[in-house]
């Protein structure tokens, strides 16, 4: 199988936790595992920004009209609504979109779930990458079930326990 050409652009806009090489590599692995699981074969670029709760709350309010912090936001470059449920794969060469992760929330959730920060960041990255590829758990029960099933499969491939 051909290796996916992936460019990740990282930005750190928080001072709550250090952004380590290990966290960056777990993000890379999570994006690659997700693209591989989805049989995505084109070159891809994803931007990942780490932010604090206040910053993600502002983004959530501005873009989703929800005035509270969240763990991760996805900003896909492509809109998959159209005649087919399948994304126009031939057109998806290059930038897939942006992922914004609150490391503050990720740390809190890792503690709540009893696993490492790296596992939580991996989960949030898989979740968000699926959004970049057109999955949406907020469009109905069947879509939610499908997306969460994919998340669990990818997390298992990475050696982590399923979430749902």
H helix intervals, the chain: 21-37, 53-64, 103-113, 117-132, 141-157
Taking the domains of the chain in order of start, what are their residue ranges?
6-157
Q: How far apart are CA 43 and CA 143, in angstroms?
A: 26
pLDDT of residue 80: 56
68 burial (CB, 10 Å; 0-12 / 13-18 / 19+) is exposed
28 and 6 in contact (C-beta within 8 Å)? yes
Q: How far apart are CA 54 and CA 57, in angstroms?
A: 5
CATH homologous superfamily of 6-157: Metalloproteases ("zincins"), catalytic domain (3.40.390.30)
What is the chain's pLDDT, residue by residue, as a tens digit (164 residues)? Answer: 467 889 999 999 999 999 999 999 999 999 999 999 999 988 999 999 999 999 999 999 999 999 999 999 999 987 655 444 555 555 545 789 999 999 999 999 999 999 999 999 999 999 999 999 999 888 889 988 999 999 999 999 999 987 76
pLDDT of residue 83: 44
Cα angle 4, 7, 9 (rounded to 5 degrees) comes to: 150
Segment (H or E) for 91: none
Q: How far apart are CA 141 and CA 52, in angstroms?
A: 30
pLDDT of residue 82: 47
92 burial (CB, 10 Å; 0-12 / 13-18 / 19+) is buried
Q: How far apart are CA 4 and CA 36, in angstroms?
A: 8
């Amino acid at each position: 199988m051909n290796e996916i050409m992936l460019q990740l652009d990282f930005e750190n806009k928080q001072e709550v936790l250090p952004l380590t090489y290990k966290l960056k590599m777990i993000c890379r692995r999570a994006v690659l595992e997700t693209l591989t699981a989805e049989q995505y074969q084109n070159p891809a670029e994803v931007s990942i920004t780490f932010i604090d709760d206040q910053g993600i709350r502002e983004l959530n309010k501005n873009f989703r009209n929800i005035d509270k912090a969240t763990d991760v936001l996805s900003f896909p470059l492509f809109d998959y609504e159209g005649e087919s449920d399948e994304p126009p794969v031939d057109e998806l060469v290059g930038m897939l979109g942006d992922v914004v992760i609150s490391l503050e929330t990720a740390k809190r959730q890792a503690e709540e779930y009893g696993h490492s920060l790296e596992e939580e960041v991996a989960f949030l990255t898989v979740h968000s990458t699926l959004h970049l590829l057109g999955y949406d758990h907020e469009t109905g029960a069947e879509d939610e079930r499908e997306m969460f099933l994919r998340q669990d499969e990818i997390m298992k491939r990475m050696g982590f326990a399923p979430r749902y």
